[in-house]
A and B are shown apart, each in its own frame.
Chain A
Amino acid sequence: MTWKRKDLLSMQDLEAGEIRDVLDTAESMKEIATREIKKVPTLRGKTVVNLFYEASTRTRTSFEIAGKWLSADVINFSASGSSAEKGESLLDTAKNIEAMSPDVVVVRHKAAGAPAMLARNLRCAVVNAGDGAHEHPTQALLDLLTIREKKGHLEGLNVTIVGDVAHSRVARSDIHGMRKMGMTVTVAGPPTLIPAACQELGVKVSYRLEEAIAHADVIMMLRLQHERMTAGFIPSLREYSRVWGLSLDRLKHCRSDVLIMHPGPVNRGVELSPEVADGPYSVILDQVTNGVAVRMAVLYLLAGSKGA
């Protein structure tokens, strides 16, 4: 095991070997979920604080279960709105939490860079659970774990990410992680939702869905936020769905062993038709299952592997 980092902030930071370590560790954690008594003593006496400044059910629950199965004490700290609205700065909040001696702080914040700022100022480990449109590294790791399980390997696979790449932290983390693991990444979506200089991230950019998914081993559909319509990025959800939605009809032109993924929550009928979301190609629920394993691995590597 080569893990040396204090924090997990981004996929851009990680090297391929480190990603492999997390995935291998996560694989070994999966067995715990199959036990009658889902608990191991690995993180007994350790404290994990979930510091969530943005609403999240799935990710927070996933971290909570991961911590509890490892016997850590998990505390959920929800703070709605921005730190400015609360009147206490993010840094002050974090310093207060640190004064209670946690071992890991898992932070989600609408501001890109917030976890990095906390990591610089806190002695404990910081895990980025999603910061603005920057990164969501544990999501990318669970995506990689799911693909590796289903395909048996990662290198050489073609992945197409479809939708609102511009505002997606999942897309950024996936792009970095997948490229590091030797995968070929194509992004596709309306040009208004493809970020500036996207090719310079080392991906292909396509403005035609059929072309972009024709040779894909994996299709990652991104959630389309309703705000994008009122903000003028797209004219209507109806049109978005017609041009960029994945239906059974469109899947006919894809590889027969294609995997359909989605970071959730799915807008049924917008980016994915219900038949596709629930169909045989979909591995969306496997992603959720693997999310717990990946987060157990991350908590273990950050808090447990140094020895109690």
Chain B
Amino acid sequence: MSLLLKGGRVIDPWNGVDAVQDVLVTDGKIAKVGAGLKAPDGAAVVDAAGKVVCPGFIDIHVHLREPGFEYKETIASGTRAAAAGGFTAVAAMANTFPVNDNRAVTDYILAKARVEGCVRVYPIGAVTRGLKGEELAEMGEQAEAGCVAFSDDGKCVMNAEVYRRAMEYALPFGVPIISHAEDCHLAHKGVMNEGLVSTELGLAGQPAAAEDVMVARDILLAELTGAHLHIAHISTAGAVRMVREARARGVRVTAEVTPHHLVMTDEAVRDYDPNTKMAPPLRGKRDVEACLEALGDGTIDCVATDHAPHALSDKEGEFAEAANGVVGLETAVPVLLDRLVRQGRLDLPVLVARFTSGPARLLNLPGGRLSLGSPADITVLDLERAWTVEPRHLLSRSKNTPFAGWSGTGAPVLALVGGRPALPSYPLTVPGGGA
């Protein structure tokens, strides 16, 4: 079975390709990339002229909520949302119920994903049992079962000694420790960024320093242990500066940033809309600019959505009481194509790299490239496609998006996983259903 994507602008940062070319897929793998390729007999041909053909986009920070919180999201609904948003692979955080801190849960997630998932799912294991920040989880067995990283995301491991041991213990498995950097004492009861807006709204703020002190600590621990430290959802100018300095010094530290921290500030909280509440909180203009600059210069390796579905009952009502987090899988690519690329603030190939080669390298994943023989995970973008975010149309089981009502131009129109469309209906269709 073969599939030829014809005449698209191929952007494959891993291989340094940015040219109008054809991509031939055979038996679910990349068979050839080049100009003027002939379609083999019986091959499906997709006219990609005027479109952008990229390696499949990868989101390394997603909460699929299964097992335990199926009323918010399931592996089925979460991967459908991912596929609709142009992603072909996601990494699933460990704060499920039960917590993914042992092999049985990892196996369950992978088995469910094989049967019900429509994109690739890579589990992330917990650093500590029950996310309690006390005893190490069984990382060895979980890595063997398929966990690609370890994180207590949602909570910060406050005990530096425990975190040091976790970093050391993870060394043989060659996977990163992902830090949710938030000093819970300094953040205290803060429900948004501390600054003029929090003062005017009368909401308790948490200072940027609550993130910065923990990023500083974790960089020092990475330096001490030689571990690969990955900073989740970086959001402050101070944290960005420290990561940049640490990398220059040779410390193995990587970082991700969310779409909302790239295009929104704490000004968005003024209506007390709980869909603008997340951890870390929306920051100031200077922080947003620092994150964007770092995304451009490679200090930040990838964009990750921190897709955090919550049911209406967790999110409506009083801002201070509402759950933290927003959905992001279906809005990330359109929002950034419009607000960053179309507005000239970031080059398209750089954004593609931060969705493909960046995350793939970081987690040692097989995708993120259009190399011969690699899995035919492919994302196709239409830079002229207009969109408006309507929460009720999202495929995610939860609708807690901060982008409701936003509109723009540029969106994914097809995602192939192993050469087949991840969803049955895409704006760009594949005759015969794929290779």
Contact = CB atoms under 8 A, between A and B. Distances in A.
A117 B313 CA distance: 15
Nearest to A115: B272
Contact of A198 (B199, B201, B319, B320): B199
User: Which of A114, A195, A200 gathers the greatest number of chain B CB atoms within 10 Å?
Assistant: A195
Contacts of A196: 194-196, 198-199, 205, 207
A12 B205 contact: no
Interface in B283-312: none
B316 interface: yes
Contacts of A12: 200
B195 A197 contact: yes
Nearest to B198: A196
Interface in B175-231: 194-196, 198-205, 207
Nearest to B313: A89
Interface stretch (A37-45, A65-73, A129-137): A129-137
Contacts, number: 70
A262 interface: no
User: Which of B195, B201, B202, B272 gathers the greatest number of chain A CB atoms within 10 Å?
Assistant: B202
B98 interface: no
Contact of B202 (A84, A133, A197, A200): A133
Contacts of B205: 196
A112 B319 contact: yes
Interface residues of B, number: 21
Interface in A151-186: 169, 172
User: Which of A82, A117, A131 gathers the greatest number of chain B CB atoms within 10 Å?
Assistant: A117
A229 interface: no
Given A196-B194, A196-B205, A196-B207, A114 B199 contact: no
Contact of A195 (B199, B272, B313): B199
B318 A111 contact: yes
A283 interface: no
Interface in A101-143: 109, 111-114, 116-117, 131-135
B335 to A, nearest CB: 25
B200 A91 contact: no
Interface of A: 12, 82-84, 89-91, 109, 111-114, 116-117, 131-135, 169, 172, 195-198, 200-201
Interface of B: 194-196, 198-205, 207, 271-272, 313, 316-321
Given A83-B318, A133-B204, A195-B199, 9 more contacts: A113-B319, A116-B271, A117-B317, A117-B318, A133-B202, A172-B200, A196-B199, A196-B207, A197-B199
